A = this chain, B = another copy of it.
């Protein structure tokens, strides 16, 4: 199963409107709080360190987000205040970012962490109303932000930015490209944000044209993955190119090439040492697209 997708939580959406019950859950002995500090998680022995309600009381809980229920256990995300030094939680934990954690966490913890990270980033970016600038308050268990200016009262909801990411093929070859910021040698699929007024399929075609100069024929949806860096929803596609001449744009992509299956099978892992071509991360949907093609 794709990383970040194996959630054990029932989101219990019906409870979000019930402030009294949410407060009772938040104060209950069963509650677990996932602390998020500076977009990082406290980790000990490859497990995220969670807090009890009693331990969580040290921090302002007005921005706590109700994530849902795992059986009888209510889960919350808790943003810890910005500070230069990582807060001390009382154990030997160290704070790590989710990209580093994705490789080591169990699937259910990775999914909870991705959800918690997305919600806390969203809240931090919506402390003020986009319409009038007044402060907002977290509402519906943290699943909406409401303007405190009664004359405005604009309400916003968490955003997910749809991204299309596409493995383009032509005959027996696939197209992979690389951004200058990536580790040397790493090549991956063509990706970009879907814009207002576009379908997913038109975004696939536009991104291919902009970044590689290719014309695209058939487009086929494969799978999706939440990607909270900071708010993406990756939507994986396969596409067949109608042309093969490449014109990498030199901005998004510094290079792109056609590769045979034999060539891609010779790629090394993303984080391996030395020169040569490298695959996208094991936990990224790009890897699923590439592996799916190799297996055909």
Interface set of A (CB-CB < 8 Å, partner B) = 2, 4-5, 7, 11, 13-14, 111-112, 114-116, 118-119, 122, 124-135, 143, 154, 156-162, 193-202, 206, 210, 221, 223-226, 228, 231, 233, 235, 249, 251
Q: List 28 A-B contacts (CB under 8 A).
A: A5-B199, A7-B197, A7-B198, A7-B202, A11-B206, A14-B210, A14-B249, A115-B197, A116-B197, A119-B197, A125-B131, A125-B154, A127-B132, A128-B128, A128-B129, A129-B130, A129-B133, A130-B130, A158-B196, A162-B233, A194-B233, A197-B226, A197-B228, A199-B224, A200-B224, A200-B233, A201-B223, A201-B224
Residues of B within 8 Å of A122, CB to CB, are 196
Q: How far is the CA of A4 from the CA of B196 in the complex (A)?
A: 11
Q: What distance in Å separates the Cβ of A211 from its nearest Cβ neighbour in chain B?
A: 10
A126 (CB) vs chain B CBs: closest residue: B130
A111 touches B197 (CB 8 A): yes
Knowing A14-B210, A131-B125, A193-B157, say if A199 contacts B225 (CB, 8 Å).
yes
Q: How far is the CA of A157 from the CA of B210 in the complex (A)?
A: 19
Within the oligomer, what is the number of copies of this chain?
2
Q: How far is the CA of A4 from the CA of B134 in the complex (A)?
A: 35
A161 touches B157 (CB 8 A): yes
Q: How far is the CA of A214 from the CA of B157 in the complex (A)?
A: 26
Q: How far is the CA of A5 from the CA of B203 in the complex (A)?
A: 11
Residues of B within 8 Å of A126, CB to CB, are 130
A120 (CB) vs chain B CBs: closest residue: B196
B128 touches A131 (CB 8 A): yes
A226 touches B210 (CB 8 A): no
Q: What distance in Å separates the Cβ of A234 from its nearest Cβ neighbour in chain B?
A: 9
Q: What distance in Å separates the Cβ of A173 from its nearest Cβ neighbour in chain B?
A: 25
A133 (CB) vs chain B CBs: closest residue: B128
B196 touches A119 (CB 8 A): yes
Q: How far is the CA of A160 from the CA of B199 in the complex (A)?
A: 11
A226 (CB) vs chain B CBs: closest residue: B197
B115 touches A231 (CB 8 A): no
